[in-house]
Each structure stands twice: as structure tokens, then as C-alpha cells.
Amino acid sequence: MDEWDIAKASNLYKVEEWGLGYFTINDRGNLCVRSTKNGPHKVDLKQLVDELRARKVQPPILIRILDILRDRISELAGCFNQAISDYDYKAPYFPLYPIKVNQQRHVVEAMLEFGKPYGLGLEAGSKAELLAVLALTEDPKNPIICNGYKDAEFVELVAMAHKMGKNIFPVIEKYSELESFIRHYKETGIMPNLGIRIKLATRGSGQWAKTGGENSKFGLHTPEVLQAIRRLKEEDLLHHLKLLHFHIGSQVTQITVIKKALNEAGRMFVEMSKLGAPLEYLDVGGGLGVDYDGSTRDTFSTINYSIQEYANDVVYRIQQLCVENKIACPTLLSESGRYLTAHYSLLITNISSTGRSTPINQQFKLPNNAVSSLTEMVDIISNIKASNYLESYHDAVQYRGELMNLFSLGYLDLEGRAMMEEAYNTIIAKVIEFARQDEHEPVELAGLDRGPSDIYFANFSLFQSLPDAWAINQVFPIIPIHRLKEKPTKKAVVVDLTCDSDGIIREYIGDNEENPYLPLHQVDPEEPYYVGIFMIGAYQETLGELHNLFGDTHAVQIEIQGENQYRISSYIKGDTVNDVLGYVSYSTKDLIHKMRTQIEKAVENGHLTLDESAQMMDQYEQGMYGYTYFED
């Protein structure tokens, strides 16, 4: 076995790349978390889980570190302010938090609190979000951006919020919304400051590229923008048009796309200003990505730019256009929700069991009547070497095909097929080993690493806790939180507890073009084995669904106060079976009554004794109020 150390573990799991200094491995081989990048104090996650279990908090556990949000806001605002200073930009920048990214109250309140020094505002995209945002933004200076569909009630709420002094901007995303505001103005005399969202020809890059561009769901085409300006002029309301907004898609992977979009949006800003629109704000929308993968490959899980480069491009390109056209530079806004929230929460779960599909390298004892193809396949194992491994691979593939045909025709029994599969997997493992040492690895063997792997059953629901991994194959960092001083020897595929065949994580972090397995350790049945799933603060906490009625996990909020010192500032108990059954309109009282009736009939019919009936009824009632996940 190659010599193994913590540095190799960190490189294997790309901890420094995606972790950004918030996560690191300590001398014990345990993963740790910090509240600031490369901060002085860290908390050992394995120790934290052990102490939570001592408090009767069982995994899976969602762990939230709100101070990471503070650090992310500070870095985002700091990069923009640095660019403003470097380029002598003549207007300020304010970050916006679009609450659709994570509407949890503690997140939104933390954003407002931590964002006070930077004038952070909120973005709402629905009536429900707007109602929450209006109540939470007590400082009238906080910018509030209103996107999404707007009915008459939405329009009225925005108008009244404007009248009471809130710094609110409803963004016109389809032309009919403008008429709704004009109609309300004629009825009430109240007109808030307006924004217009434009559809750019520029499209984003990555998984969400289709959410931008000329065929995007929201925004006005150029003719509609001209029509809106003329319409506002007709009503003598053009002075209320203060903001221009665009969005090129979430998690933009290429900085060249951002540069192109900024040029196009900047030109629109200039031309609209020339037509008399008194624009004071430019909202560059979302799109600022994060690196989930830690690799250099071109996927929608990575980005090829830094936050400072992003801020520099926004500031420089908008200033260049405004100065050239003698137009005042606008106040800049950005809706970088993924960037702000992704790192702040993580899920720790235990591996409940494993299913072996890798070869066990057993001593193959052939029966006397073994078919020749099986004998030939087993002989390959002892004869394979560096000089003939490709030939051995070809022979194994041939014999495997012959033996599968024999099994289908009834000439190979189940024991023979099992031996064939074990022998074939053993050969493939040896072929991979020789191929890795070969200076000129055959192209046809490039995909063999996707072969036999071990199934690791993790105590969580993919659909509840990691919906984007299921829906769009989003890659999230997954790493054992302990035993990192040991070399992982298993090629693992992580699956969840649901009965759905889609409850499987199909791609993992790493350098290869595709990584269909995750290196993990051999699990000791006598010791718990924990893995962490990281960067799930954006979208995952609110997109989850009740597949198989697995509910919310326990959630613990910690404040890091010193080296391995923390305070649990909040604990939210995960859903019980009673909770999730209630979500789908079951009555626990009614179910218990129905179950008791059936148990009594079973006693009458002699199928259960009184003691057994009491035991079953106790188990049934206790199960109703237990965690929906496995408990020790």
C-alpha cells in the first residue's frame, strides 16, 4: 500500500479547493469546520457528532454555521468595494439576498443582521416571500427587489410599502405588469419606483443556461422596453423608472459569458438613459457561481473565475460604458444567493450498511463437472501479468459472454454463475491495476474504473436532503469526516434509504471527466462510519420532498467560540412519523384506532397472545412518534 497521509486525503477529496479554508483536516484525521476562511478556531466534526449523539441527537443531522454567512457577505461586499476603489467608480454597491435560495427564517434574519454594514437588501419572487420580506426589513434603507409574477394584491402591497417609506423596487418582467401599476396609480395616486428586467441575447453557461437568453421565462424584449418607456412618458411617470435588471442564469461557469452579458446590459442601460429613463440602479442579477467540485474540469459544478475577478468585471465594464457616454454610473446590486449560502450548512449521516459488489479474491474451487469456459476464466486469474493483461481482458469478456449464454440455456447452474461473476470481477480488478502502471493505457480500458463498486447505504433521503443531486446530477462534496489518516480502499456508490432506484448519488468530486464512485473506507460493523455532504446551504434545505415519507432531519445551529469549543444556539428536532403522516392527511389517532381493532381481532382468532398484542401495540405507537430515519 502506498504511504498515506493527511495531505493526500485533502488532495483526494479536494478539501482545500471547495472548502475555501472553512474546512480542513486535523492531526487526528478528522474533518473540521471554521466560521471564517482560515480562521484561528475550528471544530472537529467527528467530536461534534459524538457529543450530539451523547445528547440523544441521532444522525442524519443538518449542521448550520451562521457565521459563515457573515464571512461570505463580508467577502462579496469587500471585493466589490475594492473594485470600486481601484477603478474610482462613482457609485456604491449593495448586495442582495434572493430569499428563494433558502427561505429559512434564521438565514434571512442572519443576512439582514450581518449585512447591515454593507446595506444588504432582499429580493422576493412571490407573494409569500414578499410578505416575509416586508415584515423583516425594518430599516427603510434596505433595498427590496420584487421579481416574479405580480397580481393585483401584489401590486397593492408594493405600493403601500413604498408609501410607508420602504426602498422597494417592483421589477416589470412582463409588459402587462406595467399596466397593472399604472392602473393602480390612477386609482390611488401611488406609484413606487420601478425596475425593468430585460431579456439579453447573451445566454449563461452551465446547467442553468436556458434560464437566460432571449427565450427566457421572464423579461422584456427590446421592443417591449421601448414601448414601456413610451407608455410611462405618456402618463408622465417615466421619472419612476429607476432600475434596470438582467439575469443570465444561475451558477455561470465561464467568466467570458459574464463579460459579454455585462457589455450587452451596459449598452441597454446607456440607450435607455439616452431616451430619458432616469435609471439610478443596475441589478446584475444572479449567476455568481461556486466551485462544488474542486477540479479543473469544465462542468456546471465548477467555475473558472474568482469573486474578485467577477467584481472587477462588473465595476470596470459598467463604468467604461457610462464614462464613454457621459452618463452617471449607477448604484450596483447583485443577487448572489448561491455564493452567500452554499457553504454554511452540511449534512452528516452514518453509513447504515454496505453491499459488496467488488471481488473477494476467494480461492476458486471448481467442481469436477465445470464447463470449460468457466475453467478457462478461473485460469486467467493466476496467469495474468503486465505483459498479457489486455489479452487476458479480452479472453475474460469472451468467456463471460459464453457463460451467460450457458446460464440462459440452463447449462450453467447458479453456483457456476456466481463463480463466474467473482472470477470476472477479480480479473477486471487486476486489469485496472496493470493498466494504471502502463505508460500507454489502452483506450478501451478507460471506462473500467466505473466497474464493480461497493454500495454504501447512507441514513438519509436524497429527495429530502439533496434534491439537486437527484434532479439534475448536481455534484456536492461528500467526504468521510474521520479516518482520513487511513487510505480509503473501497470504490463506493452512496445510496439513500428510500425504495426508489433513483435514490443514488451517481457522480462525485474529483479530477476525472466523470467520477462514478467515491473512495471510502472499509466499514467496521462495530464502529459508526460518518460521511458529510457539504455546500448544501443553497436551495437544498427548502426544495426537499417527502419521498417514502422521510421528513426533515434534525438541525443543529452552532456558534464556534474557540478551538473545539462551540455553543449550540438552536436545535430543531427532525420530523417524526406522526408529523409526516399529518402532512399527507393521515390522522395518527385514527390509524392507532384501526390498528388496535385489528390486533384485538388477531387475539380473538388466536394469532396473537395478550403479551404479544401489547408488545405490538406499544411498538406501533412508539413508532408513530419516532424519527423517520434509522436510529440506533
Q: Report the alpha-carbon distance of residue 595 to residue 569 in Å, rounded.
A: 40
Written as nine digits, the cell of 440 is 500507454
The predicted-structure confidence for 77-135, as pLDDT tens digits, reads as follows 999 999 999 999 999 999 999 999 999 999 999 999 999 999 999 999 999 999 999 99
The predicted-structure confidence for 28-66, as pLDDT tens digits, reads as follows 999 999 999 988 999 999 999 999 999 999 999 999 999
Say if residue 436's pLDDT is above 90.
Answer: no
What does the pLDDT read at residue 213? Answer: 53
Pairwise pLDDT comparison (372 vs 1), residue with the higher score: 372
Cβ–Cβ contacts within 10 Å for residue 369, how many?
7
pTM: 0.88
Q: 232 exposed, middle or buried (CB, 10 Å; 0-12, 13-18, 19+)?
A: buried
Written as nine digits, the cell of 494 is 452512496
Amino acid letter at 455? Answer: I
The predicted-structure confidence for 333-357, as pLDDT tens digits, reads as follows 999 999 999 999 999 999 987 776 5
Q: Report the alpha-carbon distance of residue 517 to residue 318 in Å, rounded.
A: 44
Find, among 557, 594, 597, 592, the residue nearest to 577 by Cα: 592
Q: pLDDT tier at 430 (50, 70, 90 boundaries)?
A: confident
Amino acid letter at 159? Answer: A
Calculate the average pLDDT of the chain. 91
Q: Report the alpha-carbon distance of residue 229 to residue 144 in Å, rounded.
A: 22
The predicted-structure confidence for 151-203, as pLDDT tens digits, reads as follows 999 999 999 999 999 999 999 999 999 999 999 999 999 999 999 999 998 76
Percent of the chain whose predicted confidence (pLDDT) is above 90: 78
Q: Report the alpha-carbon distance of residue 344 to residue 340 in Å, rounded.
A: 8
The predicted-structure confidence for 267-297, as pLDDT tens digits, reads as follows 999 999 999 999 999 999 999 999 998 876 6
Q: Which 3 state secondary structure label does DSSP give 569? A: strand
Written as nine digits, the cell of 196 is 425593468
Calculate the CA 280 to chain-centre distance: 34
Show Cβ contacts of residue 185 under 8 Å, excluding neighbours closer than 6 positions.
159, 191, 235, 237
Q: pLDDT tier at 365 (50, 70, 90 boundaries)?
A: confident
Pairwise pLDDT comparison (514 vs 509), residue with the higher score: 509
Cβ–Cβ contacts within 10 Å for residue 7, how many?
10
Q: Give the best-scoring range by mean pLDDT among 355-369, 444-458, 500-514, 600-614.
A: 600-614
Say if residue 1's pLDDT is above 50.
Answer: no
Please state whether 78 falls in left (phi above 0), alpha (psi between -120 and 50) or beta: alpha
Find, among 346, 378, 387, the residue nearest to 359 by Cα: 378
Q: Report the alpha-carbon distance of residue 325 to residue 274 in Å, rounded.
A: 9
